[in-house]
Amino acid sequence: GPLKPEITITYIAVSAIFFNSGLSLKTEELTSALMHVKLHLFVQIFTLVFFPTAIWLFLQLLSITPINEWLLKGLQTVGCMPPPVSSAVILTKAVGGNEAAAIFNSAFGSFLGIVITPLLLLLFLGSSSSVPFTSIFSQLFMTVVVPLIIGQIVRRYIKDWLERKKPPFGTISSCVLLMIIYTTFCDTFANPNIDLDKFSLIVIVFIIFSVQMSFMFLTFLFSTRNNSSFTPADTVAIVFCSTHKSLTLGIPMLKIVFAGYEHLSLISVPLLIYHPAQILLGSLLVPTIKSWMVSRQK
């Protein structure tokens, strides 16, 4: 169509999001959180090792059910995604948790995700035969890493102006992301052969909320054990960063890894559901987690 998503989305929109992230990412806040190695290891191992493996085991059980197989593959892609750039940080800040640790893990997880997520997708979904591996990494490098680095370099020179003017980085990213999601939905429902039944969709929504709640509870239990050495503020950052998944990085990455794939639209659906689900659940739990943290600190 006139929007030309194969150019505007694949190259311009994705690059714009990560240039914007690089411009808004406060490097000094990341360096202050750098030394909390145990917390970072916990978050990254849970997000990029335990999460996708647990989902894969769960999907072995679900594969015998009549749920749409492409939606189940989509659930696996959700498990392979890195932490989000914004939602975990916003919710950690709202509760009053360790914001610097949340920022560091979101940024570091995104960098790790650029390399690890395509590998996990190919490992769990077995698409290596049809996916040109080198072109995936070169495109990810050019549309994600390069704009992020350029954004950080530009920030160094206009840092004072940014602090003074406070441009609406979040709004800009949200608008671009909305455009990406819109074109993905257009692709999904423009396909006359789409095989999306209501039963599968309702079950997937239920599974996503259940997985989200279970993993939040699991990370909470692990990080509050007597010998864990995490403060209540650390636990807040761990709960949100370990269980949230990036839509900003996820949708562009799926478009690159599964370019030209007939069922890409259906595979994208669980991630499109997971993102609002994590924000909704997180927002509902903010008062409860905040009162728990305050009582623990006292």
Q: Is residue 68 part of a domain?
A: yes
Domain extent at residue 152:
5-292
Q: Is residue 270 part of a domain?
A: yes
H helices of 8-81, where?
A: 14-24, 27-33, 37-45, 51-62, 69-80
- C-beta of residue 228 within 8 angstroms of C-beta of residue 209: no
More confident residue, 50 or 111: 50
HSE-up of residue 232 (Cα within 13 Å, Cβ side): 12
Q: What is the pLDDT of residue 129?
A: 42
What is the value of pTM for the model shown? Answer: 0.75
The pLDDT tens digits for 91-111 are 888 888 887 788 788 778 877
The length of the chain in residues reads: 298
More confident residue, 19 or 174: 19
Domain count, the chain: 1
Please report, for residues 103, 107, 144, the alpha-carbon distance to residue 29 in angstroms, rounded to integers and kept in the order given. Answer: 8, 11, 21
Q: Is residue 18 part of a domain?
A: yes
Instruction: Quote helix, strand, coil % in the chain, to nearest 5.
Output: 80, 0, 20
> d(Cα 215, Cα 209) in Å, to the nearest integer?
10
∠ CA 216-218-221, rounded to 5°: 110
Closest CA to 136 of 148, 122, 123, 124: 122
Give me the CATH number covering residue 70.
1.20.1530.20
- The single residue listed with the structure tokens 């996990």 is 120
Q: Is residue 297 part of a domain?
A: no
Q: Is residue 29 part of a domain?
A: yes
Q: What is the pLDDT of residue 125?
A: 78
Q: Is residue 298 part of a domain?
A: no
Q: How far is CA 137 from the centre of its chain?
A: 18
Number of neighbours of residue 210 by Cβ within 10 angstroms: 11
- C-beta of residue 50 within 8 angstroms of C-beta of residue 215: no
